[in-house]
Amino acid sequence: MTYKKGNAYLLLSFIFWGVIIALQINILVKFTSFSNMMLTEKLNSNTINVSIEELSNTADHLVIAIIVIGIMFAILSVLFFVSYIKVHKSGKLNENASMTDQLTGLPNRRSFDNRLSLEWKRAAREQTAISILIMDLDNFKKYNDTFGHQQGDKALQSFADTLNDSLKRPGDFGARWGGEEFIALLSGTDAMGAMDLAEKVRQSVQDMEIPATDIEATKITVSIGINTWKHGDNSTLDEFISRADMALYNAKGSGRNKVCHWHKL
């Protein structure tokens, strides 16, 4: 849409300058003709007056044309600019929507994958540690079946808010991984720092109150698997994630509501 409007704008520009140049050429031709006639002394006083009047009228027409077309050109420029801004903003909104989980407001998996790729390369380049947390709400399917999907959505939103409040540093990045699974990337964070943060998240979730009419629906817990990469570790990006997933599986198998680091398996 913007491309077509841009072409129309360009076409009008050519038309505008084409008209101006044509009028200028018209005046130049008449003035040249008038000058030649003067030089050959073939003009009488009446002819001179008529020629001068024609030149004056043509110049007046040129001025009027420039003013009218200039005003039209300015209006069209403003309309095109306003249209471009609207389309640009709309595109930004659509882009943001495609990178955000609509239920929780957290970044979605696509957004996380983009960020993970950047931070992984940065950690390798700067030789700094990077940690990942994979979090899964315990017995969420049973919770959903017991209290209903609307209540399940409230639980997911409450957890997302708690997670977001826990990730305070600029380098921390949390996202909804899918379903009841969430994930967090902690750049510049070693194993001990990741364990401390994961435990704070686990405790905060255990203490949080989910809005509900049924008192049994106000509580839920989370299990968290952690992995840390540091300089000298030859693991790949896929292994970095899968090891955190294995740590999560171990936390689930240990009774749930646990935090487990892959290095301690």
Write the CATH number for 151: 3.30.70.270
Per the prediction, the chain carries an average pLDDT of: 82
Residue 37, pLDDT above cutoff 60: no
Predicted local confidence at residue 264, as pLDDT: 78
Mean pLDDT of 12-23: 64
Residue 184 · residue 174 · CB < 8 Å? yes
- Contact between residue 182 and residue 175 where contact means Cβ atoms under 8 Å apart: yes
Q: Say how many domains are in the chain.
A: 2
In a domain, 104, yes or no: no
| Contact assessment for residue 116 and residue 237, using Cβ atoms and an 8 Å cutoff | yes
180 is catalytic: yes
Dihedral over alpha carbons 186, 192, 196, 202 (to 10 degrees) = 80
- 100-109 pLDDT, tens digit per residue, is 999 999 999 9
Answer yes or no: do 40 and 160 share one domain: no
Same domain, 90 and 151: no
Q: Which of 65, 98, 131 is the last residue of a domain?
A: 98
Domain boundary among 98, 127, 159: 98
115 and 92 co-located in one domain? no
Helices and strands in the chain, H and E counts: 7, 5
Range of the domain at 227: 109-264
Catalytic residue among 41, 53, 54, 180: 180
Expressed in angstroms, the distance from the first to the final Cα of the chain is 56
pLDDT of 247 reads 98
Instruction: Name the band, by pLDDT with cuts 50, 70 and 90, for residue 187.
Output: very high
In a domain, 258, yes or no: yes
The reply to whether 6 and 57 lie within a common domain is yes
My answer on whether 113 and 42 are in the same domain is no
